[in-house]
Amino acid sequence: MPKLPWLDKTVNHSPHVVLLGAGASLATFKNGDARGKILPLMHNLVDVVGIGELLSKHRINYKNENFEEVYNDLSEEKDLKPLSEEIEEKIFKYFSALKISEKPTIYDYLVVSLREKDAIATFNWDPLLLQAYARNSAIKKLPRLLFLHGNVGVGICEKDKTLARIEFYICHHCGHKLQPIKLLYPIKKKDYNSDPVIKDQWTTLRKYLKHAYMFTIFGYSAPTMDEAAKQLMLEVWKKNESLELTEIEIIDIKSEKEIEETWKDFTFSHHYKIYKDFFGSHIAKFPRRSCDAFAQSSLMCKFLKDNQLPKFDSIEDLHKWMKPLIDEEEKYEKDGTPFPFDGL
């Protein structure tokens, strides 16, 4: 078999890209955040965030309506721009107040189970993924985070054009105050190019997808009102240099038939798996080794034992469990020692 440029011994250098939708945050925080605040979805956002009274005041019907439809109608009425801005402010305030639970969450497990070569792209406004990333920063080589619809936890330095956690308040490069980045609200024709921050996030995601070996879609339903997003990803995914070898994972509670119909344009032949929860995925079965393990089984016919990620009561215990894997990575970087895998 010819040597593949992205495969060195047992080490796969191609990225694993993870795409998060609202369902991922909901699955991670089924009982709400650390204070019990509910993670809203589009179908219940009006009630959860508490903007129903505001809409009623302006005689706007929202009962039994998806917030995407309600907001889209508002955005098309220039006279209602002040109302749209007030709604946006309330949404921003609600999401900004969300706090991660003390015990490790799925987002903690996800962040530490990927490596520096990988990327997590999220459509979600909530800051919980970013909070998980921050408290796991003792593990130095973590994946890249991308915010495709903006995020309340991220700020931008207008001078350096760099992003940082908004809680830092100032840019660590120049000392200028960080400004909140724009949230992309649910309208039928989303513009991913007009805002430079969001455009840059999408450009980076497309670069990762072009070279990805695995692509995990977690809790993202690809809504019909966001067809632009799906097409932006599909266009570059079809140009992936290893498309015939890649694997797609979809983590979703919907029926298999519905999931297969939604993502049929992305899947190559039978190269996809569907899971009901995160812990069934390849990421959780082979933490920090997802692409490496898949390459061994699919290309080398080396069938491997799962290194199933346990659930922990503390971040410290999670880090202790990960340390041997990180030690292996450091040894590979130092002297080229292959990753050890146990066979069946």
Q: Please report the DSSP string for 234-269 in residue order.
A: HHHHTT-TTGGG-EEEEE-SS-HHHHHHHHTTT--T
What pLDDT, on the 0 to 100 scale, is given for residue 143? Answer: 98
User: Exposed, middle or buried by CB within 10 Å (0-12, 13-18, 19+), for 79?
Assistant: exposed
Same domain, 84 and 175: no
Specify if 5 maps to a domain.
no
Same domain, 78 and 122: no
Same domain, 173 and 294: no
Beta strands 7-8; 11-12: pairing state: antiparallel
E strands, 70-223, in order: 119-122, 144-147, 154-157, 162-165, 179-180, 214-218
Specify if 2 maps to a domain.
no
Specify if 201 maps to a domain.
yes
What pLDDT, on the 0 to 100 scale, is given for residue 3? Answer: 59
Give the domain-ending residue among 168, 183, 198: 183
Report the C-alpha gap between 205 and 247 in whole angstroms. Answer: 17
Structure tokens at 265: 């344009």
Same domain, 87 and 179: no
| Residue 327 parent element (H or E) | helix 315-335
Specify if 232 maps to a domain.
yes
Report the C-alpha gap between 185 and 187 in whole angstroms. Answer: 6
Contact (CB, 8 A) for 262 and 269: no
Same domain, 221 and 326: yes
Question: Which residues are paired to 156 by β-bridges?
Answer: 163, 179
Same domain, 223 and 261: yes
Question: What is the separation of C-alpha 233 from the centre of its chain, rounded to a whole number of angstroms?
Answer: 14
Which CATH number does the domain housing residue 274 bear?
3.40.50.1220
pLDDT, tens digit only, all 344 positions of the chain: 445 677 898 999 999 999 999 999 999 999 999 999 999 998 899 999 999 999 999 888 888 788 888 898 888 888 899 999 999 999 999 999 999 999 999 999 999 999 999 999 999 999 999 999 999 999 989 999 999 999 999 999 988 888 988 887 788 888 889 999 989 888 777 889 989 999 999 999 999 999 999 999 999 988 877 889 999 999 999 999 899 999 999 999 999 999 999 999 999 888 999 999 999 999 999 999 999 999 999 888 888 899 999 999 999 999 999 999 999 999 999 999 999 998 75
Same domain, 88 and 115: no
Specify if 38 maps to a domain.
no
Give the domain-ending residue among 165, 183, 201: 183
Same domain, 133 and 239: yes
Q: What domain range is 65 assigned to?
A: 45-96
What pLDDT, on the 0 to 100 scale, is given for residue 1? Answer: 42
The tally of domains found in the chain comes to 3
Specify if 341 maps to a domain.
no
Report the C-alpha gap between 122 and 119 in whole angstroms. Answer: 10
Specify if 108 maps to a domain.
yes
Global pTM value: 0.95
Contact (CB, 8 A) for 118 and 211: no
Specify if 6 maps to a domain.
no
Same domain, 305 and 327: yes
R_g over Cα of the chain: 21
Residue 116: how many other CB atoms lie within 10 Å: 12
Same domain, 206 and 324: yes
Report the C-alpha gap between 49 and 136 in whole angstroms. Answer: 29
Same domain, 80 and 112: no
Question: What is the separation of C-alpha 232 from the centre of its chain, rounded to a whole number of angstroms?
Answer: 16
Same domain, 117 and 193: yes
Structure tokens at 110: 């996800």
